[in-house]
Amino acid sequence: MKRVFIIGVVVVILLTLVFWGHFKAQSEGYIPSLRITGDVATCLTIRSMAEAADTWEVKRIEHREQEIKALSLQDLIAAAGLVTKSNKILLVGRDGLVAEIDADTLAESYLTFSAANGWEAMNHKHPRSANIKEIKEIIVVARENHWDYGFNIIKKDKNVMNITPGQAYSGTAPFHPRLYRHFEGRSAIKHDDRVYETGIFTLKRVFELGDLVEFCYSDRNLIMGQRGGYGLLEKGGLFVLKGNHINYISAGGKQEIEKVRGVLLNAPDGSIMDHYHDVLYYIQDRNERVLTFLLDGFGWHQYEYAIEKGYAPFLASLEKASKVTALYPPITNVGLAAMITGKPPEYSGVYWRQRDLIIPSLFEVLTEQGKEAVLIGGSIKVLNGGIEWVLNIDKNESGTVDDEIFASALHHLEQKPDFIMVHFHSIDDTGESYGDLSAETMSAIKTVDGYMADLAARWPGRVIITSDHGMHSTPDGGQHGWFRFEDLLVPYLIIGHPDD
């Protein structure tokens, strides 16, 4: 009897748990997910209070004379990560009602979920109108613009516009995105001699470049992405809002560039990627030797200023350089990789601080052909890839390694290799400390200009002069790595031997 009693108790408990689970599921019903998006480092999706409790603290607060479970809105926004200092928060209801509150005033703001009101905001220090019900998304919107974040439009001599994904979502940008039905595909199945077809579409929030600025499709409008995407704008191409970034899809979806950083309107025809092809042309087809001067951090506007002010007499004595584009992000790893592979970052594999190329470098190609190629630089190997690096340190503690690089280049010129790349550093180093157009930076340019004049006069072959990236002014000096014309436009010049 005792055993039967125990079994009975167990059965009752199990049935109770089953019915309780069924009742709980019925009472909770369908829970729509809530997304935090816009100008955040990471988009968050909250699917239920129970799931959220695994990550965030669920608080018990008093609301309408009841104790309820809630999530701190301040904690959630902090977890998503604000990308700018000053922001506003948009609580967007499914009925189209939106409440806007300042991101600095979330100390007693909460989110809860109920079957009656869905995801609901409880802002204890705000007016009752801020307590939006049935929230479908929370959008973080930057109040300030920053050229190191968002979507940028530039020209060859002007930074035109910066907008952020949050501003685009919220309509505070100078346009309103529209819904676009993007065709994903079609499937079919046959039953009883009849074919049943289904077309699949996704709704996307999109805008066109013409919604923002006037431009010509016949111009070379260049798009660059955060992870190395690179391509030209096509007629019918759309920019798509996706979470905390903006993508590009060409007409018909033939090309997609993820996380677009910006568009360069009417871009120059030339690029620093031309260096790869020019070197091979002169060495393979013309049987000439090539000497390349890589002037780190030497932008087009610095080139023009230095010549105008008399800081670059050697450069001034030559024909004027061409204005060409660097690659995004405009930093040395990316620029050098583009110069020695002839490909944009998505193909070279170097789209940030990576060092390993995933395609053959110019040095590997030349070595396989039995040619001698060497790169003379500072104390660090910027890239790997079959490169014979000649490293140098500041032995005389002069504050720059360029004098040691110059001495090393003089020595290697005597060996008459087929290709030498000389990477001078002082323009970038000085520019970052004092500013792109400062007297100190101009002095560094003048010194390097003298080094180039001496080396070029000794070189029995072709000379290429260019840069990996430029730089722009900041309150503390100079900086680069942003989608700005100062960072992305550099000089490019090919000259023959003086005796030619």
> Does 259 share its domain with 206?
yes
Residue 420 has pLDDT above 60, yes or no: yes
Domain membership flag for residue 242: yes
Residues 48 and 67 in one domain: yes
Tell me which residue range forms the domain holding 255.
Answer: 151-264
Mean residue pLDDT of the chain comes to 91
**Res 5: pLDDT:** 46
Specify which residues 420 forms β-bridges with.
291, 374
pLDDT at 406 over 90: yes
- Per-residue pLDDT tens over the stretch 322-333: 999 999 999 999
Please tell me the predicted confidence (pLDDT) of residue 378.
Answer: 96
Is the residue at 5 inside a domain?
A: no
From 264, 291, 306, the end of a domain falls on 264
Q: Does 137 score more than 60 pLDDT? A: yes
Distances (CA, A) of 295 to 147, 304, 363, 444: 24, 14, 19, 11
Q: What type of residue is 185? A: G
At 264, the pLDDT band (50, 70, 90 cuts) reads very high
Shared domain for 362 and 484, answered yes or no, is yes
pLDDT score of 193: 87
pLDDT tens by residue, 369-382: 999 999 999 999 99
Q: Domain check: are 157 and 114 in the same one?
A: no
Condensed to tens digits (0 to 9), the pLDDT of residues 110-131 reads 999 998 899 999 998 899 999 9
441 in a domain, yes or no? yes
- Same domain? For 198 and 238 the reply is yes
Which of the listed residues 78, 109, 142 is the one where a domain comes to its end?
142
Indicate if the pLDDT at residue 32 is higher than 80: yes
Note whether residue 15 is domain-resident.
no
211 and 246 in a single domain? The answer is yes
Q: Is 176 a residue whose pLDDT tops 90?
A: no
Whether the CB-CB separation of 114 and 69 falls below 8 Å is answered with no
The CATH number of whichever domain residue 300 belongs to comes to 3.40.720.10
Query: Does residue 293 sit in the same domain as residue 354?
Result: yes
pLDDT band for position 29 (cuts 50, 70, 90): low
| The last residue of a domain, from among 229, 264, 299 | 264
Q: Minimal CA–CA distance to 293: which of 419, 204, 115?
A: 419
The secondary structure of 296-344, three-state, reads: CCCCHHHHHHHHHCCCCHHHHHCCCCEEEECCCCCCHHHHHHHHHHCCC
18: in domain: no
**Percent of the chain at pLDDT exceeding 90:** 78
CATH number at 114 reads 3.90.420.10
Assess if residue 474 is contained within a domain: yes
Q: Is the pLDDT of residue 408 over 90?
A: yes
> What separation in angstroms does the CA of 344 have from each of 135, 254, 375?
42, 18, 21
What is the pLDDT at residue 183?
A: 74
Which bin fits 226, alpha (ψ -120 to 50), beta or left (φ > 0)? alpha
Domain match, 288 and 401 both? yes
Q: How many domains does the chain have?
A: 3
More confident residue, 251 or 309: 309
pLDDT of residue 31: 84
Q: What is the DSSP letter of 470?
A: -
- Quickly count: other Cβ atoms within 10 Å of residue 63's Cβ: 15
Question: What is the reported pLDDT for 21?
Answer: 40
> Does residue 349 carry a pLDDT above 90?
yes
Mean pLDDT of 161-178: 84
What angle, 0 to 180 degrees and rounded to 10, lies between the N-to-C axes of helices 439-458 and 426-434?
170
pTM over the 0.85 mark: yes
Say whether both 311 and 240 belong to one domain: no
- Residue 299 sits in the same domain as residue 418: yes
- Report yes or no on 2 lying in a domain: no
Judge if 231 and 322 occupy the same domain: no
Q: Which pLDDT belongs to residue 65?
A: 77
Check residue 70 and give its pLDDT.
94
Calculate what percentage of the chain has a pLDDT beyond 70: 93
Please compute the mean of the pLDDT values over residues 49-77 and round it to a whole number: 89
* Burial class of residue 127, CB neighbours in 10 A (0-12, 13-18, 19+): exposed
Section 143-162 average pLDDT: 94
The answer to whether residue 36 is domain-embedded is yes
> 291 and 409: one domain?
yes
